[in-house]
Amino acid sequence: MSPYLAEFVGTMLLIILGDGVVAGVLLKGSKSENAGWLTIVVGWGLAVTLAIYAVGAISGAHLNPALTIALAVKGDFPWNDVAGYVASQLAGAFTGAVIVWLHYLPHWKGTADQATKLAVFCTAPALRSTLANLISEIIATALLALALLFIGQNEFTQGLNPLVVGLLIIAIGLSLGGTTGFAINPARDLGPRIAHALLPISGKGGSDWRYAWIPVVGPVLGGLLGVYVYELLF
């Protein structure tokens, strides 16, 4: 498997399980309906863990354009591969979202609220404030990048690293996710948002494109900030 295909597969798995847990909690008629924020956050952490186990040995399991760009700026990843990684991540996220839509196919019609349907695919702020929402995504992603670099300094028992990263995602979601839903990943938000716009989802409403730039720009800036802080410290 090529690294590009690995990034596609890994990001697809991430979205299938990540958006899948959101769908289970939010959509009407699901057995896990109303299971709550903790279920969603833990589900995302486990999704990241599985995706890293799947492709980490092949591509490094970036699964996130913000991390790919940040690593390239740091000099730990070749710029020539950035475009291919980002395209693969976006394509994988889009495909994963389509699979989630298919899996929960009967539940879309029974869910009346348009915002709830959109929330399965992508993030939205709890309180709409452009500057505050952007800052939230920057801070959360900076912490993600910084923590991943810290984790990389340590030696773990073989195979344990993905579990540690999954716990990191859970920690970020529980502590910082309440403001914007912690996209912390442009592909995770943009790929499924495009899927939402294109899929024939019953009564879906708009895809909130006015907000869509924040979970793209914020994580990219946050990833760069995390690398900058790491370089200052070390």
Q: pLDDT tens-digit profile of 163-175?
A: 999 999 999 999 9
Nearest to 47, CA basis, from 82, 27, 22, 84? 22
- Distance in angstroms (rounded) separating the CA atoms of residues 68 and 125: 25
Distance CA 192, CA 33 (A): 21
- CB neighbour burial string for 182-199, b if at least 16 within 10 angstroms, e if fewer: bbbbbbbbbbbbbbbbee
What is the pLDDT tens value at each position of the chain, 234 positions in all? 999 999 999 999 999 999 999 999 999 999 999 999 999 999 999 999 999 999 999 999 999 999 999 999 999 999 999 999 999 999 999 999 999 999 999 999 999 999 999 999 999 999 999 999 999 999 999 999 999 999 988 887 778 999 999 999 999 999 999 999 999 999 999 999 999 999 999 999 999 999 999 999 999 999 999 999 999 998
Per residue in 67-106, pLDDT (tens digit) is 999 999 999 999 999 999 999 999 999 999 999 999 999 9
- Phi and psi torsions of 178, nearest 5°: -70, -15
Name the pTM for this structure. 0.97
Instruction: Give the per-residue pLDDT at 64.
Output: 98
Over residues 146-158, the pLDDT tens digits come to 999 999 888 877 7
In order of their start, the domains of the chain are: 3-233 (1.20.1080.10)
pLDDT at 59: 98
Give the pLDDT confidence score for residue 154 in this predicted structure.
Answer: 85
Half-sphere exposure (CA, 13 Å, Cβ side) for 95? 15
